[in-house]
Amino acid sequence: MSNLKLVELPVVEPEAVPCCPPVTSAALSEADSVRMAAMFKALADPVRLRLFSRVASHEGGEACVCDIQDVGVSQPTVSHHLKKLREAGLLTSERRGTWVYYRVAPEALAAMAGLLSAAR
């Protein structure tokens, strides 16, 4: 028997900072427009939007692929769509044993929300 003790460490989330000024306040730079277009393009697919929504709304803020894969497409297609969401910077992932857990990247949500908010 081992004398090792399991200690749970807190998860530190980076503070989410919008990348861009609201679209009504200033023109986007070329770099910002490329970055934001990739995010919106990834979400423009109905299956990806459903997967993103399932991760975002899942209890605890993260979801195992085993809990969100029932979106009407095959498992390899789900993996493809999750990969596209990760590549666009919308999701982060962590492998735990045989399963992969996904979280919404807080900076991505902040960037999209900031861009679409009205300037004050």
The DSSP output letter for 50 is H
Among 23-27, 48-52, 108-112, which stretch is predicted with the lowest mean pLDDT? 23-27
CB 97 within 8 A of CB 106: no
CA-to-CA dists, residue 27 to 24, 106, 115, angstroms? 8, 23, 10
Q: What is the pTM of this model?
A: 0.75
pLDDT at res. 29 = 86
Q: Express each pLDDT in 68-110 by its tens digit.
A: 888 999 989 999 999 999 999 999 999 999 999 999 998 888 8
Decide: 62 and 86 in contact? Cβ < 8 Å: no
Q: Give percent of the chain with pLDDT exceeding 90.
A: 47
Give me the pLDDT at residue 11, please. 47
Q: What is the mean pLDDT of residues 13-41?
A: 74
CB hemisphere CA count around 102 (13 angstroms):
28
